[in-house]
A and B are shown apart, each in its own frame.
Chain A
């Protein structure tokens, strides 16, 4: 199994541009998550999904959108990039919502200038 894969690894955006961060998992997990990690900080939940077609906001959803059309894929969309969205983005998946290991992807480092 490849686990959780993310693309791209790095991206530089200009203010106002849009992009989609891709995330795919091959473990047949129902639960998937998007986090952002700012320098020297912990992870903050942006959005999560409990299954195909079902998504919910996390702690910091403003400026982002998600969709979950399949079990495997959970893309994160930035519509109008802002410097405050400069961060490292991690996608994760898990078997359970109430507890249990979350498997993380390698991350996407995004810079908005």
Chain B
């Protein structure tokens, strides 16, 4: 079935290293993708987004790469800091279909742990 999934449920990195979190999606019609960060006991917080007409988008210390050929999305965090420790979710937005107006689907998440 259709799904948004993550290759690795956990990722442990050293402080200062770069982190790469991966996400696979299966619906080629999805036209918008978002990365969220969720710290323990808090609601998700928007990090960065990308539309399907783009391959790459950069923010502050974060970069999202979109490979539509293999339906793969990645989040790169440069110089990872202890404050980056959290669960990271990717989400895909599927255009309206079959009478449905909206569908934003979240993956299960990757737990990033940054070791000092």
- Interface residues, chain A, CB within 8 Å of chain B? 4, 35, 40-45, 48, 50, 56, 59, 90, 92, 97-107
Contacts and interface: CB of A to CB of B under 8 A. Distances in A.
Contacts of A107: 41-43
A42 B5 CA distance: 10
A41 B49 CA distance: 21
Interface in B33-65: 34, 41-46, 49, 51
A59 B109 CA distance: 18
B101 A97 contact: yes
A42 B109 contact: yes
A9 to B, nearest CB: 10
Contacts of B102: 48, 56, 97-98
Given A42-B89, A42-B109, A48-B102, A100 B49 contact: yes
Given A99-B31, A100-B49, A106-B42, 20 more contacts: A4-B43, A40-B108, A42-B108, A43-B44, A43-B91, A43-B106, A44-B106, A56-B101, A56-B102, A90-B43, A92-B43, A97-B102, A99-B49, A99-B93, A101-B34, A102-B44, A102-B46, A104-B43, A105-B43, A106-B43
B91 to A, nearest CB: 8
A105 B110 CA distance: 21
Contacts of A105: 43
